[in-house]
């Protein structure tokens, strides 16, 4: 550490820190992440979160990874859309654990009633014992991720959950679609 000072002039401070080199294998990690992204392309996700920033971040992740995302500001808005004639067939749900208008247990039951085979990821800033109550004894694929959501953790979880599902139609372009859903602020990306 060094300090350089003169009367009537700004002082200059500098510091040198010796850090260890990055571990080997960075290229392999990047290749693995690229493989995960290619495995996700063309799948469909329903996202519901009452926080606009969270919706924007999550839909950005989905678009970047090539997933089609239908994004809603509440559980009831998502359910209204899913029960209508929209043709959207989700491969996974990503839901905020605590949103106004519908308790998490009720949302889980309604989603499982519509799509029993589709996994649900709840995003939660709640203490894990609160969320564990929702999941305990459940035979479906119900998982939670703590907030703030780490991009790579979510990507890995999505790959694990939907990787075993039927691959999207090879004729689809895998490009994100953008559609304004009626009667809501939902966006299909």
Q: State residue 77's pLDDT score.
A: 93
Q: Tens of pLDDT along 78-88?
A: 999 999 888 78
Q: How far apart are CA 13 and CA 15, in angstroms?
A: 7
For residue 73, the 8-state DSSP code is S
Structure tokens at 141: 């694929």
Percentage of residues in the chain having pLDDT higher than 70:
59
Structure tokens at 38: 């290619």
Tokens 């519901």 locate to 48
Residue of higher predicted confidence among 133 and 50: 50
Query: Are the C-beta atoms of 177 and 189 separated by less than 8 Å?
Result: yes
Q: How far apart are CA 45 and CA 72, in angstroms?
A: 11
Q: Are strands 142-146 and 179-180 parallel, antiparallel or unpaired?
A: unpaired
In this prediction the pTM is 0.68
Query: Are the C-beta atoms of 61 and 151 separated by less than 8 Å?
Result: yes
Instruction: Determine phi and psi for 94, rounding to 5 degrees.
Output: -120, 115
pLDDT band at 176 (very low <50, low <70, confident <90, very high): very low
Residue of higher predicted confidence among 65 and 18: 65
Structure tokens at 6: 């003169």
Residue of higher predicted confidence among 24 and 84: 84
Structure tokens at 103: 């308790």
Q: State residue 43's pLDDT score.
A: 92
Q: Is the pLDDT of residue 112 over 70?
A: yes
């Amino acid at each position: 550490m060094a300090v350089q000072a003169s009367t009537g002039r700004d002082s200059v401070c500098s510091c040198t820190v010796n850090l260890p080199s990055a571990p080997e294998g960075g290229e392999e990690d990047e290749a693995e992440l690229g493989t995960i992204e290619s495995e996700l392309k063309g799948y469909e996700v329903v996202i519901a979160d009452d926080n606009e920033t969270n919706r924007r971040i999550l839909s950005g992740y989905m678009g970047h990874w090539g997933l089609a995302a239908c994004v809603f500001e509440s559980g009831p808005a998502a359910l209204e859309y899913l029960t209508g004639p929209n043709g959207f067939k989700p491969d996974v749900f990503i839901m905020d654990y605590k949103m106004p208008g519908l308790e998490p247990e009720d949302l889980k039951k309604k989603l499982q009633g519509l799509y029993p085979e589709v996994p649900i990821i709840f995003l939660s800033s709640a203490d894990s014992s609160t969320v564990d109550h929702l999941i305990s004894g459940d035979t479906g694929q119900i998982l939670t991720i703590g907030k703030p959501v780490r991009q790579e953790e979510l990507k890995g979880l999505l790959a694990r959950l939907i990787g075993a599902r039927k691959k999207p139609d090879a004729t689809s372009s895998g490009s994100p679609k953008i559609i304004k859903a009626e009667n809501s602020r939902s966006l299909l990306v």
